[in-house]
Amino acid sequence: MTEGWAGSGHPGQGACVWTPGTRNTMNLLREILFKQQFGNQPRVPAPYYRRKTYLCYQLKQLNDLTLDRGCFRNKKQRHAEIRFIDKINSLDLNPSQSYKIICYITWSPCPNCANELVNFITRNNHLKLEIFASRLYFHWIKPFKMGLQDLQKAGISVAVMTHTEFEDCWEQFVDNQSRPFQPWDKLEQYSASIRRRLQRILTAPI
């Protein structure tokens, strides 16, 4: 048996969690969903749809061995970031060992989720968290800017997804039928623009 995804429901309806010894591609993100939700275009291309928050994570040992993977989306009363925190807490990781968590997220965290992530990392100094966002959420509003700065101050790496991260997300979390990642038009141009905006936020006094 090979490693794969196990869980109940489609990724758009609940969690899909990586477990060893199983393979269920039905719980991978569909290609169209990935391109719609992780696309970094400044405007939604036609046909129009709502952009939601999806968070895909990889929990690794420092030797790069993957221990767990999962994908969450927002629910009505519980954002994807909070569901992610709940999941990691449920794993009862050994506090005497160090771990790295890489998160790919469609929207950067809101102020409340940023605060929860800061508290989570503050309580778990054996974890190193890296967040790569496809897009910035309400980046012109002060509390959202402050949330991003607070993440950085807490030692959480906050960056913008580039071709490298989109490709890794495609390979790790999408039912890609073994097809290589094909970037959409102007992906790198949009990424560079968002990256400059994030850098201004993280370095500007608020």
Residues marked as catalytic = 81
Sort residue 109 into left (φ over 0), alpha (ψ -120 to 50) or beta: beta
Cα 24 to Cα 19, 29, 35, 83, 185: the distances in Å are: 10, 11, 21, 21, 31
Kindly state the tokens that stand for 132. Answer: 């790569």
Residue type at position 17: V
Kindly state the tokens that stand for 79. Answer: 């954002």
Residue 105's nearest CA partner among 69, 132, 145 is 132
In this structure, are residues 161 and 134 in contact, taking their beta carbons and an 8 Å threshold? yes
Cα 89 to Cα 4, 83, 94, 131: the distances in Å are: 21, 10, 11, 18
